[in-house]
């Protein structure tokens, strides 16, 4: 049987999709690029904003027609729309769905497929899959992740969850209700995951958590994120993984020890994602963020002092309940002053059961939210264009991911997108020294100097 997984949302959803795909292939199933060719269709959902939830329901409505026309098609619903609680509430609403999978848990689909009447066919698939995968599996530690066949040897950058769930409960955030309480993944599992990715050709890993810098807080005597980075760095050196990143952090847990670890370890990239969400203290209090604007400013200053050439990314929500024009101006002024490398912008939308949805009227008109969003987009384009312009004429290291419209595409240590041309060799997964010849706010163009060489690391 063939499967197709439709995924929207955060990097954690991408990691969850990869894990499900790996489990499906362990059962002998193969990926289908075209959903029309698939026997198993899975929708991996995000509900962090209403627009994402609407897209998920739109896709599920399409699959209702598929199920009516082809009753044997297996349809799975995965992710935050299901949540960690009993999915029975969804069964009457979504009769086309055969299997409900909570976030980060592929087991319900595995159990469903194993229990189907077509067990004989499944066993045949499993036997064929095992024969094809024996050589790879023998080289991996028990419990390691085996990439889906269509990604093996071509996937350059992969995500490794290290913290599941979240217990912080910001006023606007639905994640604690859908992904459950925060719990750190055991170090041994993470090590096996990272090592197996390296042995399958992955060159960059990103450690994931809703609040990744809280890693280990629920494991007495366990390592902090700084300690975990040192452990993973040692594995990266052994397995030829060139780069390590982590996201997303919370300002309250971004410690000097963590920053010094990033600065010290050469394979940990100078790239920090630390959301501020708003530039006004009253709005931050309403959001239940737990810090002030002055503290965030101090953190940014500290990051820049401790990590040379760092890039800092953040998140902003515009139109939070009660946000006045003056309060929004504070956010605008903060971004204009700090000049961060990237800002992920979102318009507030109330999410069920959150504090803001229960107690705060959604009183900023949609047109005003749109206006504020556009104003910050324009500002940030100017800021990043100015930052990137400093790279003109410089030679930067680029980890090449793939080709796009005839050009090689990759990223710098600061996660900036770079394109260059070269027909002489395959650069996928290699580190190239690229001289920057053009810069814009969202990407840069470059060329290989005559003396450019691929940097290799033992």
State pLDDT tens for residues 415-432: 999 999 999 999 999 999
122: pLDDT strictly greater than 70 = no
**Tokens representing residue 420 in the block:** 């260059």
455: pLDDT strictly greater than 60 = no
**% of the chain at pLDDT higher than 90:** 85
Q: What is the mean pLDDT of residues 126-152?
A: 62
Q: Is 371 exposed, middle or buried (0-12, 13-18, 19+ CB in 10 A)?
A: middle
140: pLDDT strictly greater than 80 = no
Strands annotated E in 166-310 = 183-184, 204-209, 243-247, 271-273
Cis peptide before 248 (omega within 30 of 0): yes
The pLDDT of residue 141? 56
221 touches 260 (CB < 8 A) = no
Mean pLDDT of the chain: 92
pLDDT interval class at 263 (50, 70, 90)? very high
Q: Is 345 exposed, middle or buried (0-12, 13-18, 19+ CB in 10 A)?
A: middle
User: Between residues 195 and 132, which one has the greater pLDDT?
Assistant: 195
Ramachandran region, residue 237 (left: φ > 0; alpha: ψ -120 to 50; beta: rest): alpha
Cα dihedral value 119, 121, 122, 128, nearest 10: 150
- Residue 363 CA to residue 44 CA, distance in Å, equals 31
Q: Do domains 143-389 and 395-447 have the same CATH topology?
A: no
Each domain of the chain, given as residue ranges in start order, spans 2-136, 143-389, 395-447
Q: Assign domain 395-447 one CATH number from 2.40.50.140, 3.40.50.1950, 3.30.200.20, 2.40.160.40.
A: 2.40.50.140
pLDDT interval class at 457 (50, 70, 90)? very low
pLDDT interval class at 7 (50, 70, 90)? very high
pLDDT interval class at 87 (50, 70, 90)? low
Please give the distance of CA 362 from its chain centroid, rounded to a whole number. Answer: 28
Cβ atoms within 10 Å, residue 260: 13
Classify domain 143-389 by CATH number. Answer: 3.80.30.20
Classify domain 2-136 by CATH number. Answer: 3.40.50.12160
DSSP 270: S
pLDDT interval class at 91 (50, 70, 90)? confident
68: pLDDT strictly greater than 60 = yes
**Tokens representing residue 418 in the block:** 């770079």
Whether this prediction's pTM lies above 0.75 is answered by yes
- Residue 443 CA to residue 381 CA, distance in Å, equals 11
Closest alpha carbon to 300 in 275, 332, 329: 275
Beta bridge partners of 208: 161, 247
- Residue 405 CA to residue 349 CA, distance in Å, equals 36
The pLDDT of residue 375? 98
pLDDT interval class at 84 (50, 70, 90)? confident
Q: What is the mean pLDDT of residues 157-171?
A: 95
- Residue 400 CA to residue 422 CA, distance in Å, equals 12
The pLDDT of residue 344? 97
**What sections of 244-320 are H helices per DSSP?**
256-264, 281-287, 293-306
State pLDDT tens for residues 15-62: 999 999 999 998 999 999 999 999 999 999 999 999 999 999 999 999
Q: What is the mean pLDDT of residues 222-243?
A: 97
User: Between residues 457 and 101, which one has the greater pLDDT?
Assistant: 101
The pLDDT of residue 222? 87
The pLDDT of residue 145? 87
Please give the distance of CA 369 from its chain centroid, rounded to a whole number. Answer: 25
- Residue 387 CA to residue 376 CA, distance in Å, equals 16
pLDDT interval class at 454 (50, 70, 90)? very low
pLDDT interval class at 131 (50, 70, 90)? very low
Closest alpha carbon to 198 in 240, 138, 150: 240
Report the interhelical angle of 11-26 vs 107-115 (nearest 10°): 30
Q: Which residues contact 100 (CB under 8 A, 6 or more apart)?
A: 76, 77, 78, 82, 87, 90, 91, 108
**Tokens representing residue 327 in the block:** 């309060």
- Residue 155 CA to residue 442 CA, distance in Å, equals 23
Give the gyration radius of the chain's Cα atoms: 23
Closest alpha carbon to 26 in 200, 195, 197, 149: 149
Ramachandran region, residue 262 (left: φ > 0; alpha: ψ -120 to 50; beta: rest): alpha
The pLDDT of residue 447? 97
pLDDT interval class at 89 (50, 70, 90)? confident
**Tokens representing residue 429 in the block:** 């997964």
Report the interhelical angle of 366-389 vs 325-338 (nearest 10°): 10
Least confident span in 9-13, 205-209, 386-390:
9-13
DSSP 419: E
The pLDDT of residue 383? 98
The pLDDT of residue 92? 84
The pLDDT of residue 123? 54
132: pLDDT strictly greater than 50 = no
């Amino acid at each position: 049987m063939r499967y197709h997984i439709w995924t929207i949302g955060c990097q954690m959803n991408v990691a969850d999709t990869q894990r499900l795909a790996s489990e499906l292939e362990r059962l002998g199933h193969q990926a289908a690029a075209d959903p029309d060719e698939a026997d198993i269709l899975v929708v991996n959902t995000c509900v962090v904003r209403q627009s994402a939830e609407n897209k998920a329901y739109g896709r599920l409505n399409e699959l209702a027609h598929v199920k009516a026309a082809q009753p044997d098609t297996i349809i799975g619903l995965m992710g935050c729309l299901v949540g960690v609680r009993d999915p029975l509430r969804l069964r009457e609403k979504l009769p086309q769905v055969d299997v409900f999978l909570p976030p980060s848990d592929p087991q319900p689909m595995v159990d469903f497929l194993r229990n189907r009447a077509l067990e004989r066919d499944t066993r045949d698939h499993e036997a064929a899959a095992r024969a094809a995968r024996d050589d790879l599996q023998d080289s991996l530690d028990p419990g390691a992740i085996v990439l889906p066949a269509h990604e093996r040897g071509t996937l350059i950058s992969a995500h490794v969850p290290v913290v599941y769930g979240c217990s912080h409960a910001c006023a606007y955030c639905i994640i604690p209700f859908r992904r459950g309480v925060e719990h750190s993944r055991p170090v041994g599992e993470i090590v096996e995951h990272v090592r197996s990715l390296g042995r399958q050709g992955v060159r960059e890993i990103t450690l994931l958590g809703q609040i990744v810098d809280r890693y280990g807080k629920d494991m007495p005597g366990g390592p902090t994120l700084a300690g975990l980075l040192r452990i993973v760095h040692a594995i990266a050196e052994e397995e030829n993984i060139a780069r390590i990143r982590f996201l997303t952090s919370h300002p309250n847990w971004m410690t000097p020890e963590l920053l010094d670890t990033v600065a010290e370890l050469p394979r940990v990239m100078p790239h920090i994602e630390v959301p501020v969400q708003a530039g006004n203290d009253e709005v931050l209090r309403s959001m239940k963020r737990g810090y002030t604007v002055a503290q965030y400013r101090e953190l940014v200053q500290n990051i820049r002092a401790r990590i040379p050439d760092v890039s800092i990314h953040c998140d902003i929500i515009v139109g939070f309940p009660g946000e006045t024009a003056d309060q929004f101006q504070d956010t605008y002024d903060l971004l204009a002053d700090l000049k961060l490398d990237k800002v992920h912008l979102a318009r507030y939308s109330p999410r069920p059961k959150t504090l803001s949805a229960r107690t705060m009227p959604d009183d900023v008109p949609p047109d005003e939210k749109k206006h504020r969003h556009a104003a910050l987009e324009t500002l940030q384009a100017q800021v990043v264009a100015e930052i990137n312009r400093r790279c003109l004429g410089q030679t930067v290291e680029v980890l090449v991911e793939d080709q796009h419209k005839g050009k090689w595409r990759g990223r710098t240590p600061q996660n900036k997108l770079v394109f260059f041309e070269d027909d002489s060799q395959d650069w996928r997964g290699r580190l190239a020294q690229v001289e920057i010849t053009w810069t814009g706010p969202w990407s840069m163009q470059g060329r290989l100097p005559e003396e450019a060489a691929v940097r290799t690391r033992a």
